[in-house]
Structure 1
Protein backbone atom coordinates (compact mmCIF):
# COMPACT_ATOMS: atom_id res chain seq x y z
CA UNK A 1 0.00 0.00 0.00
CA UNK A 2 1.22 3.50 -0.81
CA UNK A 3 1.46 6.27 1.79
CA UNK A 4 -1.15 8.30 -0.09
CA UNK A 5 -3.66 5.46 0.01
CA UNK A 6 -3.08 4.99 3.73
CA UNK A 7 -3.85 8.65 4.37
CA UNK A 8 -6.93 8.54 2.13
CA UNK A 9 -8.23 5.47 3.96
CA UNK A 10 -7.80 7.28 7.28
CA UNK A 11 -9.69 10.32 6.02
CA UNK A 12 -12.39 7.99 4.69
CA UNK A 13 -12.61 6.39 8.13
CA UNK A 14 -13.05 9.79 9.80
CA UNK A 15 -15.70 10.87 7.27
CA UNK A 16 -17.51 7.54 7.51
CA UNK A 17 -17.55 7.68 11.31
CA UNK A 18 -18.98 11.20 11.37
CA UNK A 19 -21.56 10.32 8.72
CA UNK A 20 -22.72 7.20 10.55
CA UNK A 21 -22.80 9.00 13.89
CA UNK A 22 -24.94 11.80 12.45
CA UNK A 23 -27.19 9.21 10.82
CA UNK A 24 -27.75 7.37 14.10
CA UNK A 25 -28.54 10.63 15.89
CA UNK A 26 -30.93 11.58 13.10
CA UNK A 27 -32.76 8.26 13.38
CA UNK A 28 -33.19 8.63 17.12
CA UNK A 29 -34.51 12.15 16.73
CA UNK A 30 -36.80 11.11 13.88
CA UNK A 31 -38.53 8.54 16.07
CA UNK A 32 -38.33 10.63 19.23
CA UNK A 33 -41.19 9.82 21.56
CA UNK A 34 -42.25 11.31 24.94
CA UNK A 35 -40.23 8.54 26.60
CA UNK A 36 -37.01 8.74 24.60
CA UNK A 37 -33.30 8.28 24.96
CA UNK A 38 -31.63 11.04 26.94
CA UNK A 39 -28.77 13.02 25.41
CA UNK A 40 -26.26 10.85 27.26
CA UNK A 41 -27.72 7.70 25.75
CA UNK A 42 -27.94 9.31 22.34
CA UNK A 43 -24.34 10.39 22.39
CA UNK A 44 -23.09 7.08 23.75
CA UNK A 45 -25.02 4.83 21.38
CA UNK A 46 -24.21 6.94 18.31
CA UNK A 47 -20.49 6.84 19.09
CA UNK A 48 -20.36 3.08 19.60
CA UNK A 49 -22.52 2.33 16.54
CA UNK A 50 -20.47 4.80 14.50
CA UNK A 51 -17.27 3.05 15.56
CA UNK A 52 -18.49 -0.43 14.70
CA UNK A 53 -20.12 0.32 11.35
CA UNK A 54 -17.26 2.54 10.12
CA UNK A 55 -14.58 -0.04 10.82
CA UNK A 56 -16.67 -2.96 9.57
CA UNK A 57 -17.12 -1.19 6.24
CA UNK A 58 -13.36 -0.72 5.85
CA UNK A 59 -12.64 -4.28 6.95
CA UNK A 60 -15.12 -5.70 4.46
CA UNK A 61 -14.37 -3.44 1.49
CA UNK A 62 -10.59 -2.99 1.75
CA UNK A 63 -9.41 -5.89 3.92
CA UNK A 64 -12.00 -8.27 2.48
CA UNK A 65 -12.29 -10.33 5.65
CA UNK A 66 -15.09 -11.70 7.73
CA UNK A 67 -14.95 -9.95 11.08
CA UNK A 68 -14.34 -11.00 13.75
CA UNK A 69 -12.14 -14.01 13.11
CA UNK A 70 -10.80 -16.17 15.91
CA UNK A 71 -7.40 -16.23 14.23
CA UNK A 72 -7.06 -12.47 14.83
CA UNK A 73 -7.18 -12.96 18.59
CA UNK A 74 -5.35 -16.25 18.98
CA UNK A 75 -1.96 -16.08 20.69
CA UNK A 76 0.30 -18.77 19.35
CA UNK A 77 3.27 -18.16 21.65
CA UNK A 78 1.81 -16.84 24.88
CA UNK A 79 4.35 -15.17 27.15
CA UNK A 80 3.36 -13.93 30.59
CA UNK A 81 6.48 -11.75 30.68
CA UNK A 82 5.21 -9.72 27.73
CA UNK A 83 1.94 -9.01 29.54
CA UNK A 84 3.90 -7.80 32.56
CA UNK A 85 6.01 -5.50 30.38
CA UNK A 86 2.85 -4.20 28.71
CA UNK A 87 1.61 -3.11 32.12
CA UNK A 88 4.97 -1.48 32.88
CA UNK A 89 4.95 0.32 29.52
CA UNK A 90 1.39 1.52 29.92
CA UNK A 91 2.10 2.99 33.36
CA UNK A 92 5.25 4.66 32.05
CA UNK A 93 3.40 6.10 29.07
CA UNK A 94 0.73 7.64 31.29
CA UNK A 95 3.43 9.36 33.36
CA UNK A 96 5.05 10.70 30.18
CA UNK A 97 1.72 12.00 28.93
CA UNK A 98 1.19 14.31 31.93
CA UNK A 99 3.35 17.27 30.74
CA UNK A 100 1.82 17.00 27.26
CA UNK A 101 -1.66 17.52 28.66
CA UNK A 102 -0.40 20.19 31.07
CA UNK A 103 1.22 22.34 28.39
CA UNK A 104 -1.07 25.33 28.99
CA UNK A 105 -0.51 25.19 32.74
CA UNK A 106 3.24 24.78 32.23
CA UNK A 107 3.32 27.92 30.11
CA UNK A 108 1.32 29.79 32.74
CA UNK A 109 3.61 28.64 35.52
CA UNK A 110 6.89 29.52 33.80
CA UNK A 111 5.50 32.82 32.54
CA UNK A 112 4.04 34.06 35.83
CA UNK A 113 6.21 32.17 38.29
CA UNK A 114 3.20 30.58 39.94
CA UNK A 115 0.17 28.51 39.09
CA UNK A 116 -3.26 29.80 40.04
CA UNK A 117 -4.83 26.61 41.30
CA UNK A 118 -8.44 26.52 42.34
CA UNK A 119 -10.08 23.34 43.44
CA UNK A 120 -12.23 22.30 40.52
CA UNK A 121 -15.07 19.85 40.76
CA UNK A 122 -15.41 17.45 37.86
CA UNK A 123 -18.88 15.95 37.67
CA UNK A 124 -19.13 12.57 35.97
CA UNK A 125 -22.41 11.37 34.55
CA UNK A 126 -22.78 7.68 35.36
CA UNK A 127 -24.45 6.96 32.02
CA UNK A 128 -21.61 8.69 30.15
CA UNK A 129 -19.07 6.60 32.06
CA UNK A 130 -20.84 3.36 31.13
CA UNK A 131 -20.82 4.24 27.44
CA UNK A 132 -17.23 5.45 27.64
CA UNK A 133 -16.25 2.15 29.23
CA UNK A 134 -17.89 0.21 26.40
CA UNK A 135 -16.31 2.46 23.77
CA UNK A 136 -12.74 2.87 25.04
CA UNK A 137 -12.18 -0.48 26.77
CA UNK A 138 -14.06 -2.92 24.56
CA UNK A 139 -14.75 -1.40 21.13
CA UNK A 140 -11.92 1.03 20.34
CA UNK A 141 -8.91 -1.16 21.30
CA UNK A 142 -10.12 -4.07 19.16
CA UNK A 143 -11.22 -2.17 16.07
CA UNK A 144 -8.44 0.43 16.06
CA UNK A 145 -5.65 -2.09 16.61
CA UNK A 146 -6.98 -4.44 13.94
CA UNK A 147 -7.12 -1.58 11.44
CA UNK A 148 -4.04 0.52 12.22
CA UNK A 149 -1.72 -2.30 13.20
CA UNK A 150 -2.80 -5.65 11.69
CA UNK A 151 -4.19 -4.16 8.47
CA UNK A 152 -2.44 -0.85 7.81
CA UNK A 153 1.08 -1.71 8.96
CA UNK A 154 1.10 -5.02 7.09
CA UNK A 155 -0.16 -3.34 3.92
CA UNK A 156 2.39 -0.52 4.20
CA UNK A 157 5.23 -2.98 4.76
CA UNK A 158 4.67 -4.45 1.31
CA UNK A 159 5.98 -1.26 -0.34
CA UNK A 160 7.78 0.62 2.43
CA UNK A 161 10.48 0.17 5.04
CA UNK A 162 9.65 -0.70 8.65
CA UNK A 163 10.30 2.79 10.01
CA UNK A 164 8.25 4.43 7.26
CA UNK A 165 5.34 2.03 7.79
CA UNK A 166 5.47 2.59 11.54
CA UNK A 167 5.54 6.38 11.27
CA UNK A 168 2.77 6.59 8.65
CA UNK A 169 0.45 4.20 10.49
CA UNK A 170 1.07 6.13 13.72
CA UNK A 171 0.37 9.45 12.00
CA UNK A 172 -2.88 8.06 10.59
CA UNK A 173 -3.81 6.81 14.05
CA UNK A 174 -3.14 10.27 15.49
CA UNK A 175 -5.37 11.87 12.84
CA UNK A 176 -8.47 10.08 14.10
CA UNK A 177 -7.77 11.44 17.60
CA UNK A 178 -7.62 15.06 16.53
CA UNK A 179 -10.58 16.16 18.66
CA UNK A 180 -8.09 18.66 20.05
CA UNK A 181 -4.55 19.31 18.72
CA UNK A 182 -3.14 18.34 22.12
CA UNK A 183 -4.10 14.72 21.40
CA UNK A 184 -1.88 14.44 18.34
CA UNK A 185 1.50 13.91 20.01
CA UNK A 186 0.32 11.39 22.65
CA UNK A 187 -1.67 9.46 20.04
CA UNK A 188 1.28 9.45 17.62
CA UNK A 189 3.65 8.23 20.34
CA UNK A 190 1.20 5.52 21.38
CA UNK A 191 0.83 4.43 17.75
CA UNK A 192 4.58 3.93 17.45
CA UNK A 193 4.76 1.83 20.61
CA UNK A 194 1.72 -0.26 19.71
CA UNK A 195 3.12 -0.77 16.21
CA UNK A 196 6.44 -1.93 17.64
CA UNK A 197 4.63 -4.39 19.89
CA UNK A 198 2.77 -5.85 16.92
CA UNK A 199 5.81 -6.04 14.65
CA UNK A 200 8.00 -7.66 17.29
CA UNK A 201 5.48 -10.08 18.84
CA UNK A 202 3.45 -10.78 15.67
CA UNK A 203 0.39 -10.99 17.94
CA UNK A 204 -2.30 -8.33 17.57
CA UNK A 205 -3.84 -9.31 20.91
CA UNK A 206 -0.84 -7.84 22.74
CA UNK A 207 -1.44 -4.49 21.03
CA UNK A 208 -5.14 -4.69 21.91
CA UNK A 209 -4.30 -5.34 25.58
CA UNK A 210 -1.83 -2.44 25.59
CA UNK A 211 -4.46 -0.15 24.08
CA UNK A 212 -7.09 -1.28 26.61
CA UNK A 213 -4.69 -0.63 29.50
CA UNK A 214 -3.99 2.93 28.36
CA UNK A 215 -7.70 3.63 27.97
CA UNK A 216 -8.45 2.05 31.35
CA UNK A 217 -6.07 4.49 33.06
CA UNK A 218 -7.86 7.32 31.28
CA UNK A 219 -11.19 6.20 32.77
CA UNK A 220 -9.66 5.79 36.22
CA UNK A 221 -8.27 9.32 36.08
CA UNK A 222 -11.60 10.60 34.76
CA UNK A 223 -13.52 9.11 37.68
CA UNK A 224 -10.99 10.56 40.14
CA UNK A 225 -10.32 13.76 38.19
CA UNK A 226 -10.91 16.18 41.07
CA UNK A 227 -8.55 14.53 43.55
CA UNK A 228 -5.96 13.62 40.92
CA UNK A 229 -5.73 17.05 39.27
CA UNK A 230 -5.69 18.88 42.58
CA UNK A 231 -2.79 16.70 43.73
CA UNK A 232 -0.83 17.06 40.47
CA UNK A 233 -1.20 20.83 40.15
CA UNK A 234 -0.48 21.47 43.79
CA UNK A 235 2.96 20.01 43.09
CA UNK A 236 3.61 23.24 41.12
CA UNK A 237 5.81 21.31 38.68
CA UNK A 238 8.43 20.67 41.34
CA UNK A 239 11.02 17.91 41.42
CA UNK A 240 8.40 15.29 42.36
CA UNK A 241 6.38 16.11 39.24
CA UNK A 242 9.40 15.83 36.93
CA UNK A 243 10.72 12.77 38.78
CA UNK A 244 7.48 10.99 37.91
CA UNK A 245 7.93 11.96 34.26
CA UNK A 246 11.51 10.62 34.30
CA UNK A 247 10.25 7.44 35.97
CA UNK A 248 7.75 7.14 33.13
CA UNK A 249 10.53 7.42 30.56
CA UNK A 250 12.49 4.68 32.34
CA UNK A 251 9.50 2.34 32.63
CA UNK A 252 8.57 2.85 28.99
CA UNK A 253 12.15 2.30 27.82
CA UNK A 254 12.46 -0.89 29.88
CA UNK A 255 9.14 -2.20 28.58
CA UNK A 256 9.99 -1.43 24.95
CA UNK A 257 13.46 -2.93 25.29
CA UNK A 258 12.18 -6.17 26.81
CA UNK A 259 9.27 -6.61 24.41
CA UNK A 260 11.22 -5.76 21.25
CA UNK A 261 13.90 -8.26 22.20
CA UNK A 262 11.44 -10.95 23.33
CA UNK A 263 10.98 -12.39 19.84
CA UNK A 264 14.30 -11.63 18.15
CA UNK A 265 14.90 -15.33 17.86
CA UNK A 266 11.52 -15.86 16.18
CA UNK A 267 10.76 -15.72 12.50
CA UNK A 268 9.67 -12.41 11.04
CA UNK A 269 6.13 -11.55 10.02
CA UNK A 270 5.46 -13.92 7.18
CA UNK A 271 6.41 -12.34 3.89
CA UNK A 272 5.97 -8.77 5.11
CA UNK A 273 8.86 -7.63 7.23
CA UNK A 274 12.23 -7.36 5.54
Structure 2
Protein backbone atom coordinates (compact mmCIF):
# COMPACT_ATOMS: atom_id res chain seq x y z
CA UNK A 1 0.00 0.00 0.00
CA UNK A 2 1.93 3.00 -1.30
CA UNK A 3 0.99 6.02 0.78
CA UNK A 4 3.87 8.32 -0.07
CA UNK A 5 3.07 11.32 -2.26
CA UNK A 6 6.72 11.91 -3.14
CA UNK A 7 7.37 12.48 -6.82
CA UNK A 8 4.02 14.10 -7.52
CA UNK A 9 3.73 17.68 -8.70
CA UNK A 10 0.75 20.03 -8.85
CA UNK A 11 0.43 19.40 -12.58
CA UNK A 12 -0.06 15.70 -11.83
CA UNK A 13 -3.39 16.48 -10.18
CA UNK A 14 -6.38 16.03 -12.51
CA UNK A 15 -7.72 19.50 -11.72
CA UNK A 16 -10.60 19.11 -14.16
CA UNK A 17 -12.04 16.39 -11.92
CA UNK A 18 -12.63 19.03 -9.25
CA UNK A 19 -15.22 20.53 -11.61
CA UNK A 20 -17.51 17.69 -10.56
CA UNK A 21 -18.21 19.47 -7.27
CA UNK A 22 -19.62 22.71 -8.77
CA UNK A 23 -21.35 20.68 -11.50
CA UNK A 24 -23.24 18.70 -8.84
CA UNK A 25 -24.34 21.78 -6.92
CA UNK A 26 -25.24 23.91 -9.95
CA UNK A 27 -27.23 21.14 -11.66
CA UNK A 28 -28.91 20.23 -8.36
CA UNK A 29 -29.90 23.88 -7.88
CA UNK A 30 -31.31 24.11 -11.41
CA UNK A 31 -33.33 20.90 -11.19
CA UNK A 32 -34.56 21.83 -7.70
CA UNK A 33 -35.76 25.24 -8.85
CA UNK A 34 -37.51 23.78 -11.90
CA UNK A 35 -38.97 20.86 -9.96
CA UNK A 36 -40.31 22.88 -7.06
CA UNK A 37 -41.58 25.48 -9.50
CA UNK A 38 -43.66 22.80 -11.24
CA UNK A 39 -44.77 21.39 -7.88
CA UNK A 40 -45.93 24.77 -6.61
CA UNK A 41 -47.77 25.39 -9.87
CA UNK A 42 -49.92 22.27 -9.47
CA UNK A 43 -50.22 22.23 -5.66
CA UNK A 44 -50.95 25.22 -3.44
CA UNK A 45 -49.52 23.55 -0.36
CA UNK A 46 -47.40 20.49 -1.35
CA UNK A 47 -46.84 18.20 1.63
CA UNK A 48 -43.45 17.10 2.93
CA UNK A 49 -43.59 13.78 1.08
CA UNK A 50 -44.09 15.52 -2.27
CA UNK A 51 -41.26 17.91 -1.51
CA UNK A 52 -39.00 15.03 -0.49
CA UNK A 53 -39.79 13.13 -3.69
CA UNK A 54 -39.11 16.18 -5.85
CA UNK A 55 -35.81 16.82 -4.04
CA UNK A 56 -34.85 13.19 -4.61
CA UNK A 57 -35.54 13.38 -8.34
CA UNK A 58 -33.44 16.55 -8.57
CA UNK A 59 -30.61 14.86 -6.65
CA UNK A 60 -30.73 11.76 -8.87
CA UNK A 61 -30.59 13.88 -12.02
CA UNK A 62 -27.65 15.95 -10.74
CA UNK A 63 -25.75 12.80 -9.77
CA UNK A 64 -26.38 11.16 -13.16
CA UNK A 65 -25.07 14.25 -14.93
CA UNK A 66 -22.02 14.27 -12.63
CA UNK A 67 -21.29 10.62 -13.49
CA UNK A 68 -21.68 11.34 -17.22
CA UNK A 69 -19.42 14.38 -16.85
CA UNK A 70 -16.70 12.25 -15.24
CA UNK A 71 -17.07 9.71 -18.03
CA UNK A 72 -16.68 12.40 -20.71
CA UNK A 73 -13.65 13.87 -18.91
CA UNK A 74 -11.94 10.47 -19.10
CA UNK A 75 -13.61 8.99 -22.16
CA UNK A 76 -10.30 7.66 -23.58
CA UNK A 77 -9.04 6.08 -20.37
CA UNK A 78 -12.43 5.06 -18.98
CA UNK A 79 -12.54 1.55 -20.52
CA UNK A 80 -9.17 0.74 -18.93
CA UNK A 81 -10.23 2.27 -15.59
CA UNK A 82 -13.43 0.23 -15.65
CA UNK A 83 -11.60 -2.97 -16.58
CA UNK A 84 -9.03 -2.46 -13.81
CA UNK A 85 -11.85 -1.94 -11.34
CA UNK A 86 -13.69 -5.09 -12.36
CA UNK A 87 -10.47 -7.11 -12.22
CA UNK A 88 -9.69 -5.79 -8.73
CA UNK A 89 -13.11 -6.77 -7.43
CA UNK A 90 -12.82 -10.25 -8.94
CA UNK A 91 -9.36 -10.76 -7.45
CA UNK A 92 -9.96 -9.23 -4.02
CA UNK A 93 -13.65 -9.90 -3.37
CA UNK A 94 -12.88 -11.73 -0.11
CA UNK A 95 -11.06 -8.66 1.22
CA UNK A 96 -13.96 -6.42 0.19
CA UNK A 97 -16.53 -8.65 1.89
CA UNK A 98 -14.31 -8.78 4.98
CA UNK A 99 -14.14 -4.98 5.15
CA UNK A 100 -17.90 -4.75 4.64
CA UNK A 101 -18.50 -7.15 7.51
CA UNK A 102 -16.19 -5.09 9.73
CA UNK A 103 -18.18 -1.97 8.86
CA UNK A 104 -21.52 -3.68 9.58
CA UNK A 105 -20.25 -5.27 12.78
CA UNK A 106 -18.66 -2.09 14.11
CA UNK A 107 -21.79 -0.10 13.27
CA UNK A 108 -24.01 -2.61 15.07
CA UNK A 109 -21.75 -2.53 18.12
CA UNK A 110 -21.76 1.27 18.10
CA UNK A 111 -25.56 1.39 17.91
CA UNK A 112 -25.82 -1.10 20.79
CA UNK A 113 -23.50 1.04 22.94
CA UNK A 114 -25.67 4.10 22.28
CA UNK A 115 -28.39 2.69 24.54
CA UNK A 116 -26.16 3.31 27.56
CA UNK A 117 -26.01 7.04 26.86
CA UNK A 118 -28.26 9.53 28.68
CA UNK A 119 -31.68 9.67 27.04
CA UNK A 120 -31.05 13.20 25.78
CA UNK A 121 -28.10 11.98 23.69
CA UNK A 122 -29.60 8.75 22.37
CA UNK A 123 -31.06 8.26 18.90
CA UNK A 124 -32.89 5.33 17.32
CA UNK A 125 -32.09 6.36 13.75
CA UNK A 126 -29.92 9.15 12.40
CA UNK A 127 -31.69 12.20 10.95
CA UNK A 128 -30.31 11.24 7.54
CA UNK A 129 -31.92 7.78 7.80
CA UNK A 130 -35.23 9.29 8.92
CA UNK A 131 -35.19 11.59 5.89
CA UNK A 132 -34.44 8.69 3.53
CA UNK A 133 -37.22 6.61 5.09
CA UNK A 134 -39.70 9.14 3.67
CA UNK A 135 -38.83 7.81 0.20
CA UNK A 136 -40.14 4.35 1.11
CA UNK A 137 -43.67 5.51 1.89
CA UNK A 138 -44.74 5.40 -1.78
CA UNK A 139 -44.18 1.96 -3.39
CA UNK A 140 -44.18 3.43 -6.92
CA UNK A 141 -41.29 5.69 -5.93
CA UNK A 142 -39.07 2.80 -4.75
CA UNK A 143 -37.19 2.46 -8.07
CA UNK A 144 -36.10 6.11 -7.82
CA UNK A 145 -35.13 5.61 -4.16
CA UNK A 146 -33.14 2.50 -5.13
CA UNK A 147 -31.38 4.38 -7.92
CA UNK A 148 -30.37 7.15 -5.52
CA UNK A 149 -29.45 5.16 -2.41
CA UNK A 150 -27.82 2.09 -3.96
CA UNK A 151 -26.41 3.28 -7.30
CA UNK A 152 -25.78 6.95 -8.05
CA UNK A 153 -25.18 8.31 -4.53
CA UNK A 154 -22.39 5.80 -3.67
CA UNK A 155 -20.74 6.36 -7.06
CA UNK A 156 -20.76 10.15 -6.81
CA UNK A 157 -19.73 10.19 -3.15
CA UNK A 158 -16.78 7.91 -3.93
CA UNK A 159 -15.76 10.11 -6.85
CA UNK A 160 -15.78 13.18 -4.61
CA UNK A 161 -14.59 11.91 -1.22
CA UNK A 162 -12.16 9.21 -2.32
CA UNK A 163 -11.05 9.94 -5.88
CA UNK A 164 -10.87 13.74 -5.73
CA UNK A 165 -9.96 14.37 -2.09
CA UNK A 166 -7.55 11.45 -1.64
CA UNK A 167 -6.62 10.19 -5.09
CA UNK A 168 -6.00 13.59 -6.65
CA UNK A 169 -5.44 16.19 -3.91
CA UNK A 170 -3.54 13.60 -1.89
CA UNK A 171 -0.82 13.70 -4.54
CA UNK A 172 0.37 16.99 -3.04
CA UNK A 173 -1.23 17.13 0.40
CA UNK A 174 -0.42 13.58 1.57
CA UNK A 175 -2.73 10.62 1.02
CA UNK A 176 -3.19 9.84 4.73
CA UNK A 177 -3.93 13.46 5.63
CA UNK A 178 -6.48 13.75 2.81
CA UNK A 179 -7.88 10.39 3.90
CA UNK A 180 -8.68 11.93 7.28
CA UNK A 181 -10.19 14.98 5.59
CA UNK A 182 -12.22 12.63 3.38
CA UNK A 183 -13.60 10.65 6.33
CA UNK A 184 -14.53 13.77 8.31
CA UNK A 185 -16.17 15.66 5.43
CA UNK A 186 -18.05 12.54 4.29
CA UNK A 187 -19.42 12.12 7.81
CA UNK A 188 -20.33 15.79 8.22
CA UNK A 189 -22.29 15.69 4.95
CA UNK A 190 -24.46 12.89 6.33
CA UNK A 191 -25.04 14.37 9.80
CA UNK A 192 -25.71 18.00 8.89
CA UNK A 193 -29.15 17.82 10.56
CA UNK A 194 -28.13 15.61 13.48
CA UNK A 195 -29.91 16.02 16.81
CA UNK A 196 -27.35 13.98 18.73
CA UNK A 197 -23.57 14.52 18.42
CA UNK A 198 -23.16 10.75 18.55
CA UNK A 199 -24.79 10.39 15.13
CA UNK A 200 -21.34 11.38 13.85
CA UNK A 201 -19.89 8.03 14.87
CA UNK A 202 -22.44 6.01 12.92
CA UNK A 203 -21.20 7.41 9.62
CA UNK A 204 -17.58 7.92 10.64
CA UNK A 205 -17.19 4.13 11.04
CA UNK A 206 -18.24 3.56 7.43
CA UNK A 207 -16.09 6.48 6.27
CA UNK A 208 -12.97 5.00 7.88
CA UNK A 209 -13.63 1.60 6.29
CA UNK A 210 -14.06 3.21 2.87
CA UNK A 211 -10.86 5.26 3.20
CA UNK A 212 -8.79 2.31 4.41
CA UNK A 213 -10.14 0.06 1.64
CA UNK A 214 -9.40 2.71 -1.00
CA UNK A 215 -5.82 3.21 0.21
CA UNK A 216 -5.25 -0.52 0.63
CA UNK A 217 -6.36 -1.00 -2.99
CA UNK A 218 -3.68 1.51 -4.08
CA UNK A 219 -6.40 4.04 -4.77
CA UNK A 220 -8.47 1.78 -7.00
CA UNK A 221 -11.91 3.35 -6.71
CA UNK A 222 -13.65 0.03 -7.32
CA UNK A 223 -12.72 -1.10 -3.80
CA UNK A 224 -14.48 1.61 -1.80
CA UNK A 225 -17.27 1.92 -4.38
CA UNK A 226 -18.11 -1.79 -4.13
CA UNK A 227 -18.23 -1.69 -0.31
CA UNK A 228 -20.30 1.50 -0.35
CA UNK A 229 -22.84 0.09 -2.82
CA UNK A 230 -23.17 -3.21 -0.94
CA UNK A 231 -23.55 -1.38 2.39
CA UNK A 232 -26.33 0.79 0.98
CA UNK A 233 -27.98 -2.21 -0.70
CA UNK A 234 -28.15 -4.02 2.63
CA UNK A 235 -29.58 -0.90 4.30
CA UNK A 236 -32.13 -0.53 1.50
CA UNK A 237 -33.30 -4.15 1.81
CA UNK A 238 -33.42 -3.90 5.62
CA UNK A 239 -35.52 -0.74 5.44
CA UNK A 240 -37.94 -2.46 3.03
CA UNK A 241 -38.20 -5.38 5.44
CA UNK A 242 -39.00 -3.08 8.37
CA UNK A 243 -41.50 -0.84 6.58
CA UNK A 244 -43.31 -3.48 4.55
Asked if these proteins are the same fold (TM beyond 0.5), I'd say yes
Q: Which runs of 4+ in 1 moved over 6 A?
A: 8-11
Match of 2:118 in 1: 107
1:72 aligns with 2:81: yes
Q: 1:97 deviation in Å?
A: 4.6
* Structure 1 residues 130 and 107: alpha-carbon distance in aligned structure 2, compared to 1, 3 A threshold: farther
Query: Which structure's CA Rg is the greater one?
Result: 1
Q: 1:110 deviation in Å?
A: 9.9
CA distance in 1, matches of 2:229, 2:37: 30
Q: 1:92 deviation in Å?
A: 1.4
* Structure 1 residues 124 and 96: alpha-carbon distance in aligned structure 2, compared to 1, 3 A threshold: farther
| 1:141-200 CA distance string (max 9 Å, x none) | 112112211222022322223331111112222233234225543333322221111111
* Structure 1 residues 9 and 64: alpha-carbon distance in aligned structure 2, compared to 1, 3 A threshold: closer
Report matched runs for 1:98-247 at 5 Å: 98-99=111-112, 106-108=117-119, 124-181=137-194, 183-202=199-218, 203-225=220-242
| 1:57-95 CA distance string (max 9 Å, x none) | 6x48xx953499233333344223223313422431431
* Structure 1 residues 32 and 222: alpha-carbon distance in aligned structure 2, compared to 1, 3 A threshold: same
* Structure 1 residues 224 and 149: alpha-carbon distance in aligned structure 2, compared to 1, 3 A threshold: same
Please state whether the residue corresponding to 2:54 is helix, strand or coil.
Answer: helix
So what's the TM-score if we normalise by structure 1? 0.58
CA distance in 2, matches of 1:107, 1:18: 39
Say what the alpha-carbon RMSD is for the aligned residues: 4.1
Q: Is the 8 A contact 1:170 1:192 kept in 2?
A: yes
Match of 2:6 in 1: none
From 21, 25, 29, the counterpart of 1:19: 29
So what's the TM-score if we normalise by structure 2? 0.64
Match of 1:52 in 2: 64
Could you say which structure has the higher helix fraction?
2
- Length, aligned pairs only: 203
| 1:81-129 CA distance string (max 9 Å, x none) | 22331342243143145258x57x9422999xxxxxxxxxx98321343
Q: Is the 8 A contact 2:57 2:144 kept in 1?
A: yes
